[in-house]
Every structure is written in C-alpha cells, then in structure tokens.
Amino acid sequence: MTTQKVCKDCEPGSKRPAPNPGPRCATHWREEKKRRSKAAHEKRVQATYGLGEGDYATLYEAQEGRCAICRRATGATRRLSVDHDHKTLLVRGLLCRPCNDMLGHSRDDPEFFSRAKGYLEKPPAQEIGRWYAPSNN
C-alpha cells in the first residue's frame, strides 16, 4: 500500500510546521516561485535605487503598466528596468530593455533624439532624391 503525498498548500487546515520548503503541487510551486521572485526584485530595487517598499509598483501604476518611452512593453515577460540619471542617481521611471539601452547609448544627450527625429522626418536618401528598396526578383 502506497501513501500519496498531499501538497502542503492544498491540504485544508494544515498546521504542519515546515522548517524546509516541503512538497508542493506544480500549481502551488509556480505561485511560490513567483512570490519569491517578486520579493527578491523588490529587495534589489530598494537596495540599488533607494526606492521604498511598494515604490516600483507605484511607478508601474503611474505609467499605466507600460514603458514610459515606447508605451508598448508591459513588463509581463520581463520586468521593466528602473531608469535613473547617472549623474544625480535620481530615479526617472520604468523602461523596457530596448528603451533603456537606447538612453544608455545616447548617453542621455537630448540632441541625440533631436537628430533621430530629424532623420525620421527627412532621411538622407530622400535628401538626395532617391528611395532605395529591394527589387522583387
């Protein structure tokens, strides 16, 4: 006769002391991993950027759950990065990885973005009167 193990979180009214994690069903183990990951992230952003408890969530809500620049990324797959000014160390907001990398590449120079805007509005190929496109052979 074999005894089937019961998930300690599924067992109703369990008061089992658990000095070690113990057995969990797949559903509860996934939930526990998410909880631990969220707690570790919260602790890391507090230590690294000086955010208070819940400040990341507050920023996330203030930005309507989206990257502050592209407004497309939601952080569902990969959490949004905490963007900060490297001179003053002040937190500016939450950005997706590509937008955060773009700011880093620009070295926070506003002229970079003015040039990018000009480039998109009037590309050099248009300037010389030619548009290049691949031929459909």
Give domain limits for the chain: 26-123
pLDDT per position as a tens digit, 31-88: 989 999 999 999 999 999 999 999 999 999 999 999 999 999 999 999 999 999 988 9
Q: Does domain 26-123 have CATH number 3.40.1800.10?
A: yes
Query: How far is Cα of residue 117 from the mean position of the Cα atoms in its chain?
Result: 26
Query: Identity (one letter) of the amino acid at 54?
Result: G
pLDDT of residue 69: 96
At residue 53, the pLDDT reads 93
Tell me which H or E stretch contains 117.
helix 110-121
Question: Confidence band (pLDDT; 50, 70, 90) for 23?
Answer: confident
* Cα–Cα dist 13/90, whole Å: 47
What's the whole-model pTM score? 0.75
